[in-house]
C-alpha cells in the first residue's frame, strides 16, 4: 500500500500488480501451510511397503473457478450480483481477475486506486464500498508422519498442466536432484501438446509472448528428513527450486 501510494502519480499501473503467496513452516513435527491465491502444496506420501506414493493436497486455493470460492464471495458481497462473472468459460472476480486473495492488486482493495489514470480495463463501473480482494491467507496444519516423503510447492502454472498424481509420480520416479526442473519441463511439454506444437518451438517464443501459451511456473520440491525434523534441527535441507523463467 505504501509503495503504491508513493508511486501513484508516476506509475499508476503499479496498483494492478499483485502476487499469490504460499508459505510452509515446520514446527514441532507439524507442517503449517499458509496460502493466499491459487498456488498449491502437494505431499508425496509412501503407501505402506508397496513402493507406491500417494498425492495429498495440503492447501486450499482462492480461485473463482471453484464453487466454494464463488459462494464465499457472494456471501461477502450479497448486494453485488456481478461479484463473480463468467467470461469466455472462466469465472473471474468482477470479470477481471481469477484469484480472490492476493498480495497487492490494491485496485480491488481501495477505492482511491480504482480510478484514472489506471488503465480502463482495471476500473470498475460502480463505486467500491468495501475491499473486493483480501490478502488474508488460509492456514492449514499437517502432523508429519514417517511415511511423508516430500512436498511440492508450486504456482498454478504447474497445476494447470499436471495433476497432483502426475507431479508426485515424476518426483518419486526420478533422482532427487533436478526435481523442480523436471516438473517444469513436463508442464511445458504438456502446454506445447495442448497447442499442437513442439516443445522446442515453445521454448523459442519470446518470454513476453509466452504468457499466452502458459502461466508463470515456479516450483520448490522439499524432501523431508524425519531424523532432523524429530530433533528440531534444520541443517541444509534437500531442496530443488526452479522457475520457468530460468528454464
pLDDT tens for 56-95 read 999 989 999 999 999 999 999 999 999 999 999 999 999 9
Say if residue 74 is preceded by a cis peptide, omega within 30 of 0: no
CA dist 57 and 200 (Å) reads: 31
The CATH number that domain 22-61+139-231 falls under is 3.60.40.10
Which pLDDT tens digit goes with each residue over 117-159? 999 999 999 989 999 999 999 999 999 999 999 999 999 999 9
Give me the pLDDT at residue 239, please: 64
Are 226 and 237 within 8 A, CB to CB? no
Are 213 and 202 within 8 A, CB to CB? yes
CA dist 75 and 60 (Å) reads: 18
Query: What are phi and psi for residue 224, nearest 5 degrees?
Result: -85, 125
In whole angstroms, how large is the CA radius of gyration of the chain?
Answer: 20
pLDDT band at 193 (very low <50, low <70, confident <90, very high): confident
- Range 206-231 average pLDDT: 81
Q: Where are the domains of the chain?
A: 22-61+139-231
pLDDT band at 247 (very low <50, low <70, confident <90, very high): very low
- Chain centre distance of CA 191: 17
Length of the chain (residues): 247
3-state SS, one letter per residue, for 204-242:
HCCHHHHCCCCCCCEEEEEECCHHHHHCCCCCCCEEEEE
Q: What angle in degrees, to the nearest 10, is found between the helix axes of 179-194 and 164-172?
A: 140
CA dist 40 and 46 (Å) reads: 20
> pTM for this one?
0.86
Amino acid at each position: 500500500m505504501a509503495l503504491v501510494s508513493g508511486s501513484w502519480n508516476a506509475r499508476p499501473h503499479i496498483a494492478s500488480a499483485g502476487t499469490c503467496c504460499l508459505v510452509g513452516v515446520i514446527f514441532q513435527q507439524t507442517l503449517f501451510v499458509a496460502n493466499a491465491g491459487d498456488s498449491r502444496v502437494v505431499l508425496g506420501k509412501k503407501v505402506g511397503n508397496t513402493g507406491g506414493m500417494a498425492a495429498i493436497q495440503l492447501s486450499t486455493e482462492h480461485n473463482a473457478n471453484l464453487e466454494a470460492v464463488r459462494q464465499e464471495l457472494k456471501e461477502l458481497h450479497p448486494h453485488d450480483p456481478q461479484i463473480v462473472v463468467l467470461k469466455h468459460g472462466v469465472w473471474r472476480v468482477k470479470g477481471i481477475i481469477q484469484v480472490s486473495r492476493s498480495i497487492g492488486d490494491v485496485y480491488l482493495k481501495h477505492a482511491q486506486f480504482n480510478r484514472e489514470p489506471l488503465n480502463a480495463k482495471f476500473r470498475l463501473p460502480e463505486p467500491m464500498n468495501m475491499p473486493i480482494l483480501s490478502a488474508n491467507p488460509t492456514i492449514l496444519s499437517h502432523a508429519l508422519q514417517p511415511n511423508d516423503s516430500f512436498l511440492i510447492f508450486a504456482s498454478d502454472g504447474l497445476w494447470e498442466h499436471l495433476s497432483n498424481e502426475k507431479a508426485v509420480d515424476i518426483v518419486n520416479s526420478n533422482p532427487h536432484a533436478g526435481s523442480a526442473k523436471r516438473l517444469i519441463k513436463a508442464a511445458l511439454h504438456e502446454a506445447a501438446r495442448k497447442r499442437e506444437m513442439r516443445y522446442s518451438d515453445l521454448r523459442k517464443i519470446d518470454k513476453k509472448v509466452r504468457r499466452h501459451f502458459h502461466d508463470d511456473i515456479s516450483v520448490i520440491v522439499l524432501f523431508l528428513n524425519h531424523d532432523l525434523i524429530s530433533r528440531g534441527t534444520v541443517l541444509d535441507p534437500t531442496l530443488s527450486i526452479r522457475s520457468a523463467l530460468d528454464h
